[in-house]
Structure 1
Amino acid sequence: MENAIIIASSVLAAAVIMVAAVMGATKGDAAVAVKALESMSRQPEQVSNLQINMLIAIGLVESIPIIASVIAIVLVMANPFIK
């Protein structure tokens, strides 16, 4: 019975971690896109450079929830509290 509670708590904690990481990445992606679009409207001649930088920044921001999800899944699978 104890193991079931520990496993359920671990899965719930992993889900919360993933949701928080995804929501944080969504806010980060939105902030990057907004700033890039503002910069593109101010300097139309730099659109290609700004667009490349925006895509790189969004890719970097998106790597955070992927890493958090992998860590959460690994912690669920290799739980040290299970006997």
Structure 2
Amino acid sequence: MANMKALSVLLAFLVISMLATEAFAGQNLYGNGSLKPNQCYGRCSQRCSETRKRHDCMFFCMKCCRTCLCVPPGTYANKEVCPCYNNWKTKRGTSKCP
């Protein structure tokens, strides 16, 4: 009888664990389309927090975020997690997004 209870608890834990993994796997924390437009300001503020040209950084970051619905984590680099943000270039071929 005790073995059946232990087996039931183990089985319940396994099912809950699988459901939680499946639920979190569907969440896209970064990447194209991971944000809603109203989340751009907060993410861009964090992205541009260490730059000297904050106004310019915010302008371009907001433009990129509204188009890509994505802002890479951190204040620099990590652009590979947001392909749209990473690949948007100026006429000169430099990155449009900070």
Give the TM-score taking structure 2 as reference length: 0.34
Over alpha carbons, which structure has the higher Rg? 2
Normalising by structure 1, report the TM-score: 0.39
